[in-house]
Amino acid sequence: MRERGARLTAVLLLIPVLAGCFASGGAQDDPAGGDGFRLRVALAFPPAEGLSPYGADATILSRLGVTEGLTALDANGAAIPALAASWRREGEREWVFDLRDATFQDGTDVTPAAVAASLRHAVEAEPAPAALSGVSLTARAEGDTGVRISTEQPDPILPSRLASPSLAVLAPGAYGDKGRVDPVRTGTGPFALTQLSGSASATLDRHDDYWGGRAQASGIDVRFIADGTARTAALRTGETDIAEAVPVAQAASLDADVRRETATARTTSLLLNSRTGPFRNPALRAAARAAVDTSALADGVYEGHADPGAGIYGPAVTWAEGKRRTPDQRVRGEGGDGTAITLATYDNRPELPEVAQVLKQQLEEAGFDVTLEVREYSRIESDALAGEFDAFVLARNTLVDTGDPVAVLASDFTCDGGYNLALLCDEGVDRAVERAEAVADSGERQEAAMVAEARILATDTVVPLVHQRIITGVGGSVRGVLLDPYERTLVGAGTRR
């Protein structure tokens, strides 16, 4: 074990960097100490997979300060140190990450062997984490502090990729038979998950040996409240300290100093099933796209707390608008001609059912016969991935998997994509995405991503509806809440009340 003096120096150097990235309120205050209070947090999405790190639940763990990766992202989407204090590239396909002195929540040391094993488990997971879509990598320990990661093909964004919540590093004891992963007391973050009560609640206790400094709160009591009105009411009545995803309709019920509005990389889109059902027909997809009035959604449903859909990437991705291309070779659609379709969405994000209802009316005016289905997300995801619906309304953070603009295109719109709800398989799209993945220079990579975006939009399998701003309810006495455009963080070591 390296000297504690070196560990303390590294911690003190890093804390201002992390705290300055996404802090709200007093996040930059000294995080040492803690008076024994527990934070109460209301989250919108109950665990869909028992808090497995490899699916949608991974973000729950990162937002609660349970898990971390080798890297994190700063406000501009660039990789910064987390469990890895530094890294270097050796050749086109080799990277070496130097670990800081850290401890897992079960008391064992974070070692190169443990990190390499954790990454191997992620690579072998089925389905593979979205951050690894189209990527093949191997990891092995190197010396006392190093982890060498090799990729089958050059991967210029590997440090950013490793910041994905789905590639969090867990202790060896987390991994069981048949791919089971148990995050209870096996992460590295400031708070350890100690109990998960189904889809209702979770309990977290402070990880006193956290490398980033002892958290101010002694723990977190989490309630999963899918109903947005109920989440807001819990904050208003003082039953919770932090409530995520406050519905637009409830925003006015909160005092101005309690509402925190954050521009995010989240785009709400209409995804059309291009593999089975009526939307296999490009003309019907074009007719559905032409029927949508995005301004009515941004101004009506979102009451001005969103921007009309311009593309897969929205205003929070600041470079996108200046590089956007107009899709060409689009099919013209004349109308729905009485075609029966099933439109589905979920109610964890409270505006989505209303968005779907407005879309239903717009599509019916265009001649479609629409049946609407709304469920809680954990009860609808598997059917959506299996293509059980003709159309699906999804709110998707376009930079959540890696912070790389190309990653969401690979996972959501290519033939082998792991989150391809549109079931799109188009050779031209795959070629455009593959070309973008091969570009190392960040500016050129952005340009290539926009070429691929235009090719995807030309298929009319995705209709961008609005670019969201997220409203978070934060109690007046709470400080240090971490709000970021990628929606990966919420509670950290400095969060307190």
Summarised one tens digit per residue, pLDDT across range 160-193 is 999 999 999 999 999 998 788 999 999 999 999 9
Q: What distances in angstroms separate CA 349 from CA 45, 207, 247, 308, 442, one per listed residue?
A: 9, 31, 8, 18, 32
Which residues touch 142 (CB under 8 Å, ≥6 apart)? Answer: 96, 112, 148
Q: In this model, does residue 32 exceed pLDDT 90?
A: no
Handedness of CA 209, 214, 219, 225 (dihedral sign): negative
Burial of 283 (0-12, 13-18, 19+ CB in 10 A): middle
Residue 119 is predicted with a pLDDT of 97
CA angle (126 as vertex; 432, 153 as ends), nearest 5: 40
**In terms of Cα–Cα distance, which of 217, 210, 215, 237 is closest to 225?**
237
Strands 391-397 and 340-346: parallel
Strands 94-99 and 79-81: unpaired
Q: In this model, does residue 22 exceed pLDDT 80?
A: no
- CATH (residue range 264-469): 3.10.105.10
- Token pair in block for residue 328: 């060409």
Give the whole-angstrom CA distance, residue 449 versus residue 405.
7
- Token pair in block for residue 497: 């009340």
Bridge partners of residue 243, in order along the sequence: 42, 473
Residue 131 is predicted with a pLDDT of 85
Q: What is the mean pLDDT of the chain?
A: 89
Q: What would the mean pLDDT of 434-438 be, rounded to a whole number?
A: 91
Residue ranges, CATH 3.10.105.10, the chain:
264-469
Give the whole-angstrom CA distance, residue 159 versus residue 164.
10
Q: What would the mean pLDDT of 379-407 be, rounded to a whole number?
A: 90
Q: What would the mean pLDDT of 475-494 be, rounded to a whole number?
A: 93
Give the whole-angstrom CA distance, residue 293 versus residue 297.
7
Handedness of CA 470, 67, 41, 223 (dihedral sign): positive
Q: What would the mean pLDDT of 318-341 be, rounded to a whole number?
A: 88
Residue 443 is predicted with a pLDDT of 86
Given a contact cutoff of 8 angstroms between Cβ atoms, the answer to whether 269 and 254 are in contact is no
| pLDDT tens-digit series, residues 254-305 | 999 999 998 888 899 999 999 999 999 999 999 999 999 999 999 999 988 8
Q: In this model, does residue 1 exceed pLDDT 70?
A: no
Residue 130 is predicted with a pLDDT of 80
Q: In this model, does residue 14 exceed pLDDT 60?
A: no
Strands 79-81 and 71-73: antiparallel
Q: In this model, does residue 24 exceed pLDDT 70?
A: no
Name the DSSP letter for residue 331: P
Lowest mean pLDDT among 84-93, 108-117, 163-172, 331-340: 331-340
Annotation: CATH topology of 4-224: D-Maltodextrin-Binding Protein; domain 2 (3.40.190)
Global pTM exceeds 0.85 = no
C-beta atoms surrounding 68 within 10 Å: 25
Give the whole-angstrom CA distance, residue 343 versus residue 350.
16
Q: What would the mean pLDDT of 395-415 be, rounded to a whole number?
A: 87
Residue predicted with more confidence, 15 or 107: 107
Alpha helices in 241-341 (DSSP H): 248-251, 282-291, 294-296, 320-323
Q: In this model, does residue 7 exceed pLDDT 80?
A: no
Residue 496 is predicted with a pLDDT of 94
Q: In this model, does residue 18 exceed pLDDT 60?
A: no
Given a contact cutoff of 8 angstroms between Cβ atoms, the answer to whether 297 and 303 are in contact is no
Q: In this model, does residue 21 exceed pLDDT 60?
A: no
Alpha helices in 27-142 (DSSP H): 58-63, 112-124
Residue 35 is predicted with a pLDDT of 56
Helix axis angle for 351-365 and 282-291, nearest 10°, is 110
For a pLDDT cut of 90, what percent of the chain falls above it? 70
Residue ranges, CATH 3.40.190.10, the chain:
4-224
The SS3 of residue 94 is strand
Residue 190 is predicted with a pLDDT of 98
